[in-house]
Amino acid sequence: MLELGSKCSSEDKLTDKTEKLKDEINTLENEIDNQIYKIYRITEEEKKVIEESLK
């Protein structure tokens, strides 16, 4: 029983780490996208079109 609790705890930590990393990746991807939009002087309207096409 103690071993099962230990496995669950390890899996929870891994899941938490994975979720945190996914959040960080999404944040960085958004920052990169925004910098690209800025470099190419993409308007908000153009940005909406681009993002809709990526869904």
Residue 42 backbone class (left: φ over 0; alpha: ψ -120 to 50; beta: rest): beta
What was the pLDDT predicted at 25?
Answer: 98
pTM: 0.69
DSSP assignments along 21-52, one per residue: HHHHHHHHHHHHHHHHHHHTT--HHHHHHHHH
pLDDT single digits (tens) 2-28: 565 666 677 788 899 999 999 999 999
What pLDDT is stored for residue 50 in this prediction? 95
**What residue ranges do the domains of the chain occupy?**
19-55
